[in-house]
Amino acid sequence: MASNASESIGQKPKIQIYSTPNNEVTTFWKEKYERDAKKYWDVFYKRHQDRFFKDRHYLDKEWGQYFSEAEEKVILEVGCGAGNTIFPLNATYPDIFIHACDFSPRAVELVKAHKDFKKEKINAFACDLTSEDLVKHIPPSSVDIVTMIFVLSAVSPEKMPLVLKNIKKIMKPNAYVLFRDYATGDLAQERLISKDQKISENFFVRGDGTRAFYFSEEFLKNLFQENGFHIEECGLCCKQVENRSREIVMNRRWVQAAFRLDDKIPKISKEAKEGFDIDISEGFAFEMFGISSPKNEITEYKLRDWNFKIKLLSKEFQHTCKSTGLMLWESAQLMASILASNQNIVSGKTILEVGSGSGGICSMIAARTARLVVPTDGDNKTLELLQENITSNLEQSLISKVKIKKLEWGNEEHIESVKKVSGEKGFDVVIGTDVTYVVEAIMPLFKTAKELISIDGVLILCHVFRRVDEGCILSAASCFGFRLVDRWPNVSLSPRKNQSHKSLRFDTLNNYKYLPSRVCVSPSSSDRSSQHLT
């Protein structure tokens, strides 16, 4: 024991760096660093390019359980920098789709210039999450995992809640945030304290004008919990780095955590969902609304040499029922006129209609020249009425071409059932009218279309923009390998209504063949004529 003690006394003690008293930067400089934050980061990436940060190959080791079975998962990397997170992720999980955003436009340019950047796998864009809406770039409720690695520390503490509220808009219920960032007591913080570069508590400015916040576990947990996240894991990581030549011990500290977005929407059992209809029986309807029991009504629809008599739920009850498929939407009428004027779209092909509703006029018009038509909907009552309309309006020779199927978007059992009808090749044309009005349904819609469309197929959508804008639709389309090949002009079928219909035509990114003549509909107010454009 004495020998060991004397040896210990004789050794030269190693130096530990400690903090010293400090003064904060002036108000003028605080405001300047905040105002010019984007400029400072742009200069940073201009100077360092992609050489400053190392690729983060530890992601699979640290968070493998969240990325496991990551096929077709959608990831958002906040503060992508030069791509040190997204490219290792993409290499490990090639089936994922990544949205990558950064404060600095120059950083985004570096990502796009990377040798492994592919547009069909990565959507890179510049965005200030404290002031710009993420929904302009990413469909709402579409992201499975958000990675925030040494990025939130660059944001002023008072603006951090704005960032979390922003990313919540695009996260699926129960999606995860994977977080790693600087912790209090880190060597870098101690150095900044000694240089009087403090902006506020645990918030400092570096010599190049960029800023860094140092998190305590308590601060981080409170921040996420107060903004609607559940703590899955959170811990402080410490690593002691020794410079033997200078006999200096350096403490590196960071906090690592995983947070789950709380899903506070009450869950409804399958049995409850199936019975979740509004009671519109004779007595209840009269007592509550002063009207008789619901009845179907016949709507006559004429188009060229077609004359359909469509049975629908009477108008006084259409908006008291959970299904939107029991009425005839105007976009369906427009799509029907397109198909009637341009039979080359469907002639000799296999056609899938998603969300066809009970009217089925698009499928019935397609049946005249198509090889196979499969109208689908997710509501049983809608399908019953659809079957009745097709049987009463089509000749027997055409009815044999039409195979009605139940299809809830994203339901693998339903998708497999529809696949058996189309065969291995998939459908040549997929059409949908007014199927993009609910934001939560956009991603399942494109996922379903991707699984059922053929490699050379086209997807045609017609709709009125309501809660979902075109940017969200195009972003969702790119996530599943679709590209826009046509926008057809705005058309209003009801001049008295302030509504116009937009048609979008997509093909798959797998199709590199020359596209045949593209159909562009330009109806006049009188005859709604159409023309071919090459």
Between the CA of residue 413 and those of 98, 353, 408, what are the distances in Å?
27, 18, 9
In a shared domain, residues 206 and 302 = no
Digit-coded pLDDT (tens) for 281-315: 333 333 333 334 445 567 777 777 888 887 765 44
Confidence band for 480, pLDDT divided at 50, 70 and 90? confident
Digit-coded pLDDT (tens) for 328-350: 567 788 888 888 888 899 999 99
Q: DSSP per residue over 112-174, as a string?
A: HHSTT--TTTEEEEE--TTTS-GGGTS-TT-EEEEEEES-GGGS-GGGHHHHHHHHHHHEEEE
Q: Is residue 288 part of a domain?
A: no
In a shared domain, residues 197 and 344 = no
| Lowest-pLDDT choice from 13-27, 272-286, 351-365, 485-499 | 272-286
Q: Is residue 287 part of a domain?
A: no
Among residues 261, 285, 308, which one ends one of the domains?
Answer: 261
In a shared domain, residues 229 and 374 = no
In a shared domain, residues 418 and 468 = yes
Tell me: pLDDT of 353 over 90: yes
Convert 163-232 into a string of H (helix), E (strand) and C (coil).
HHHHHHHHEEEEEEEEEEEEECCCHHHHHHHHCCCEEECCEEECCCCCEEECECHHHHHHHHHCCCEEEE
Q: Is residue 23 part of a domain?
A: no
The two tokens of residue 4 are 């060991």
Confidence band for 508, pLDDT divided at 50, 70 and 90? low
In a shared domain, residues 304 and 170 = no
Q: Is residue 166 part of a domain?
A: yes
What is the pLDDT, as a whole number, of residue 8?
38
In a shared domain, residues 222 and 301 = no
Q: CB–CB of 196/23 below 8 Å? A: yes
Q: Is residue 10 part of a domain?
A: no
| DSSP bridge pairs for 200 | 203
Single out the residue of 198, 201, 127 nearest to residue 163, CA to CA: 127
Its domain, for residue 121, covers 28-261
In a shared domain, residues 514 and 426 = yes
| DSSP bridge pairs for 491 | 501
| Lowest-pLDDT choice from 205-209, 317-321, 409-413, 511-515 | 511-515
Confidence band for 362, pLDDT divided at 50, 70 and 90? very high
Q: Is the dihedral of CA 42, 47, 49, 51 positive or negative?
A: negative
Among residues 206, 239, 261, which one ends one of the domains?
Answer: 261
Tell me: pLDDT of 238 over 50: yes
CB-side neighbour CA atoms (13 Å) of 233: 14
In a shared domain, residues 348 and 484 = yes
In a shared domain, residues 170 and 309 = no
What is the pLDDT, as a whole number, of residue 450?
93
Q: Is residue 8 part of a domain?
A: no
Share of the chain above pLDDT 90, in %: 30
In a shared domain, residues 83 and 212 = yes
Q: What is the mean pLDDT of residues 459-479?
A: 76
Q: How far is the C-alpha of 167 from the C-alpha of 129, rounded, in Å?
A: 8
Q: CB–CB of 336/493 below 8 Å? A: no
H helices of 438-485, in order, are 442-452, 470-479
Tell me: pLDDT of 76 over 90: yes
What is the pLDDT, as a whole number, of residue 412?
93
The structural domain count of the chain equals: 2
Higher pLDDT, 10 or 365: 365
Q: Is residue 38 part of a domain?
A: yes
**What CATH number is attached to the domain comprising 48?**
3.40.50.150
In a shared domain, residues 230 and 114 = yes
Q: What is the mean pLDDT of residues 32-36?
A: 81
Single out the residue of 444, 435, 451 nearest to residue 140, CA to CA: 444
Share of the chain above pLDDT 70, in %: 72
Digit-coded pLDDT (tens) for 178-220: 999 999 988 888 888 877 788 988 999 888 888 899 999 999 9
Amino acid 192 reads L
- Mean pLDDT, the chain, as a whole number? 76
Q: How far is the C-alpha of 280 from the C-alpha of 221, rounded, in Å?
A: 49
Q: Is residue 328 part of a domain?
A: yes
In a shared domain, residues 74 and 221 = yes
Q: How far is the C-alpha of 71 from the C-alpha of 32, rounded, in Å?
A: 44
What is the pLDDT, as a whole number, of residue 366?
94
Single out the residue of 181, 208, 179 nearest to residue 192, CA to CA: 208
Cβ neighbours for 298, distance < 8 A, ≥ 6 positions apart: 309, 310, 311, 312
